A and B are shown apart, each in its own frame.
Chain A
Amino acid sequence: MNEQYPALLVVVPLLSALVVSIAGWVNKRLCFPVAVAALGMAAWSAVGLLLRVLDEGVIVYKLGGWSPPMGIAYYIDYLNGLVLPVVSIVALLNLIANKKGIEQQFPDKIGPFYTLYLLMVTGLLGIVVTGDAFNLYVLLEIAALTGYGLLAMGEERAPLATLNYLYMGTIGACFYLLGVGYLYIVTGSLNMVDIARLLPPLYQSNTVLAAFIICMVGVWLKMAFFPLHAWLPNAYTYANSAASSLIAPLVTKVMVYVMIRLMLTIFTTEFVFTTLALSDAVVWLAVIAIVMGAVLALAERNLKKMLTYIVVAEVGYMVGGAWLGNRDGMTGAILHIVNDALMTLCVFMVVGNIVYKVKGYAFEDLKGLFRKMPFTMGALVVGAMSIIGVPPTCGFFSKWYLIVGAISSGHYCFMAALIFSSLVSVVLFFRVFEICFYEPFSNHHGHDNHPGGMDEAPVSMVVPLLVVAVILILVGLYTGDIVNHVIQFAIPEAMV
């Protein structure tokens, strides 16, 4: 059984998507348990895979027994061994938390919604697990197409925002496909490890350079790396809360994973940092991304949109860290994939709970929430502390690695941008807390001065949220173990 984990990871959610769509016609109540069981199975396989990788090193799983480079192989090393459990656990917790929200928002579309949700997770897990460059493109499009479907189920402006995302996402995926085509012309292979083996004599070739740059631009478009971020804020803001709290934590982070995979496995650090002299330019772009993300977040009077701009800034952290060109920076970037997925999930789930109860997420809707929803707001405090970077929450540690990497490579501007964005996050979140502490004006009229009771979201929404908040602190406390036992081996030894 545990030999088949790599296949189960993708096949179980894929087939259960079919089961859920049929179950939706028979009885809507069947959809949720099937979906939870499927994602639970995926999470179990992902954790099992991580343990196996820790135990026996890199796993190559030949689909259908065809060995690479002819067949498609799933390739699990320390890098995606770490990302897989994060993706599957985030998807599972978010699914459980949003059961009530989905029933409230789309009572007629429960079956289709869970089907799309499972297909989306299939795509994301497939992107992370695959060792084939073209297979990655197909799964990228599966994740993207289902993502458009999920995001468009929202407010009135959601379809237009999603259509803009669709244009940009399609251009991004097509650029990636074009880059893979160039690689295929020069190497005749699509298997990542095989391409990496064939490339070194061709490092001076213009075709390889073009392939690298086109792939990078495509991936940056998909991850909303400033200035290619324009599609993200509206698409995520106007979507329903279940979809945005799945897509905001995962899609950008999985794309960062793809970028790191391209840099470390396919093109290798020798090509990226020695042959190319792009590193400084990309780190500067990341600096601009972080600063602009923070400033644009500051301009918002709307909690959800503010958080989307924080996502844009966080993408800058990871891209900058990966391109610093040293071990600490790369460690910080990989660790931040994990941490940012969890803390973005935490804050977006908080928004989901608020929307469920208050039906709004503008700042003026938030008044008096600390009294009404103490648990939800407690989770928001933990998530905010993590985004700001207060120990012992996990956000502190990845930021620490990124800053150490910035100093040792001499990119002081990147360090300054990290600190600036942390300070802006302090302002952003304490402004939200301040609004949430004060009571709405209506409560102070006349004699009607006594505050109302607690009006917390349902237990099924609060418990997963609190679990995420606890995970944020636990991941922070065990950062040393994660770095020493996993991430250290994910980075090639050539990188100092």
Chain B
Amino acid sequence: MTDLISTVIAKYNYWIYITLMMIGLYAMIAKNNLVKKIVGMNIFQTAIILFYVSIGVKKGATIPILEHGHGPDAHHVVHAVDYINPLPHVLMLTAIVVGVATLGVALALAIRIYNNYNTLEEDEILAQIREK
């Protein structure tokens, strides 16, 4: 039991992202309201962004700008341990943009659906489709 707890605590960032992902997935599958589903989708995407951000982090490290990178003593050994890994963070800038764009398209579609059916509840929409 203590083993389990210590594994969970040691890798808590992964547990958080998996929990968030499952919350998002649950909302997308189980919720009836289209906007709630879209919110679930956004939580799902954010979970993966947090996962990426967390894998770039190092304890005790600083932002990846070289200290004393200029000037006379510019040529010295760079300790990778002192700097966080910037690449996953940079990748996530793109993923955030993608997430925002997806959210925008999804909400635009929700507006179109609302104009067609005057509701955002999925069961009511399906009932209207069946009547036609």
> Is there contact, CB below 8 Å, between A166 and B106?
yes
Q: Which of the candidate stretches B1-9, B57-65, B67-75, B93-101 sits at the interface with the other chain?
A: B93-101
**A123–B113 alpha-carbon span in the complex (Å):** 27
> Is there contact, CB below 8 Å, between B51 and A181?
yes
Known: A170-B41, A184-B55. A145 touches B28 (CB 8 A): no
> Is there contact, CB below 8 Å, between A159 and B25?
no
**A162–B28 alpha-carbon span in the complex (Å):** 15
Contact of A185 among B55, B101, B102 (CB under 8 A): B55
List, in ascending order, chain A residues with CB within 8 A of B98's CB: 138, 141, 145
Which of A145, A160, A178, A184 has the largest number of chain B CB atoms within 10 A?
A160
Flag whether A287 is at the interface (Cβ < 8 A). no
Mark each residue of chain A from 129 to 144: 1 if its CB lies under 8 Å from any CB of chain B, else 0.
0000010011001000
Closest chain B residue to A141, Cβ basis = B98
Interface residues of A in 155-204 (CB under 8 A from B): 156-157, 159-160, 162-163, 166-167, 170-171, 174, 177-178, 181, 184-185
Expressed in whole angstroms, the minimum distance between the Cβ of A92 and any Cβ of chain B is 26
Expressed in whole angstroms, the minimum distance between the Cβ of B99 and any Cβ of chain A is 9
> Is there contact, CB below 8 Å, between A157 and B129?
yes
> Is there contact, CB below 8 Å, between B45 and A170?
yes
Flag whether B48 is at the interface (Cβ < 8 A). yes
List, in ascending order, chain B residues with CB within 8 A of A257's CB: none
List, in ascending order, chain A residues with CB within 8 A of B110's CB: 163
Closest chain B residue to A135, Cβ basis = B94
Question: Could you tell me how many residues of chain B have their Cβ less than 8 Å away from some Cβ of chain A?
Answer: 28
**A138–B98 alpha-carbon span in the complex (Å):** 8
List, in ascending order, chain B residues with CB within 8 A of A185's CB: 55
Expressed in whole angstroms, the minimum distance between the Cβ of A457 and any Cβ of chain B is 29
List, in ascending order, chain B residues with CB within 8 A of A134's CB: 91, 94
**A301–B130 alpha-carbon span in the complex (Å):** 17
Interface residues of A in 108-140 (CB under 8 A from B): 134, 137-138
Flag whether A392 is at the interface (Cβ < 8 A). no
Flag whether A149 is at the interface (Cβ < 8 A). yes
Contact of B101 among A145, A159, A178, A181 (CB under 8 A): A145
> Is there contact, CB below 8 Å, between B25 and A177?
no
**A160–B52 alpha-carbon span in the complex (Å):** 32
**A171–B106 alpha-carbon span in the complex (Å):** 13
List, in ascending order, chain B residues with CB within 8 A of A167's CB: 28, 37, 41
Contact of A162 among B48, B51, B52, B109 (CB under 8 A): B109
List, in ascending order, chain A residues with CB within 8 A of B95's CB: 137, 177
Flag whether A317 is at the interface (Cβ < 8 A). no
List, in ascending order, chain A residues with CB within 8 A of B102's CB: 141, 145, 166, 170
List, in ascending order, chain A residues with CB within 8 A of B125's CB: 160
> Is there contact, CB below 8 Å, between B51 and A163?
no
> Is there contact, CB below 8 Å, between A148 and B105?
yes
List, in ascending order, chain A residues with CB within 8 A of B51's CB: 178, 181
**A177–B113 alpha-carbon span in the complex (Å):** 29
Q: Is the interface of A mostly helix, strand, loop or mixed?
A: helix
> Is there contact, CB below 8 Å, between A181 and B112?
no
Expressed in whole angstroms, the minimum distance between the Cβ of B51 and any Cβ of chain A is 6
Flag whether B34 is at the interface (Cβ < 8 A). yes
> Is there contact, CB below 8 Å, between B48 and A160?
no
Flag whether A152 is at the interface (Cβ < 8 A). yes
**A152–B48 alpha-carbon span in the complex (Å):** 27
> Is there contact, CB below 8 Å, between B48 and A166?
no
List, in ascending order, chain A residues with CB within 8 A of B37's CB: 167
Known: A149-B105, A156-B116, A157-B129. A170 touches B34 (CB 8 A): no
Closest chain B residue to A162, Cβ basis = B109
**A178–B109 alpha-carbon span in the complex (Å):** 26
**A166–B37 alpha-carbon span in the complex (Å):** 11
List, in ascending order, chain A residues with CB within 8 A of B94's CB: 134, 138
Known: A160-B125, A171-B28, A174-B44. A181 touches B55 (CB 8 A): yes
List, in ascending order, chain B residues with CB within 8 A of A170's CB: 41, 44-45, 102
Expressed in whole angstroms, the minimum distance between the Cβ of A320 and any Cβ of chain B is 28
Mark each residue of chain B from 81 to 108: 1 if its CB lies under 8 Å from any CB of chain A, else 0.
0000001100100110010011001100
Mark each residue of chain A from 302 to 313: 1 if its CB lies under 8 Å from any CB of chain B, else 0.
000000000000
**A163–B48 alpha-carbon span in the complex (Å):** 21
**A138–B28 alpha-carbon span in the complex (Å):** 22
Known: A134-B91, A160-B113. A166 touches B105 (CB 8 A): yes
Known: A170-B45, A171-B44. A181 touches B52 (CB 8 A): yes
**A163–B109 alpha-carbon span in the complex (Å):** 7
Closest chain A residue to B110, Cβ basis = A163
A-B contact pairs, 11 of them (CB 8 A): A141-B101, A141-B102, A148-B109, A160-B113, A160-B125, A163-B110, A166-B105, A166-B106, A166-B109, A170-B45, A181-B51
What is the interface of chain B, defined by CB distance below 8 A to chain A?
A: 25, 28, 34, 37, 41, 44-45, 48, 51-52, 55, 87-88, 91, 94-95, 98, 101-102, 105-106, 109-110, 112-113, 116, 125, 129
List 9 other contacts, CB 8 Å, given A160-B109, A166-B102. Answer: A149-B105, A159-B113, A167-B28, A167-B41, A177-B95, A178-B48, A181-B51, A184-B88, A185-B55
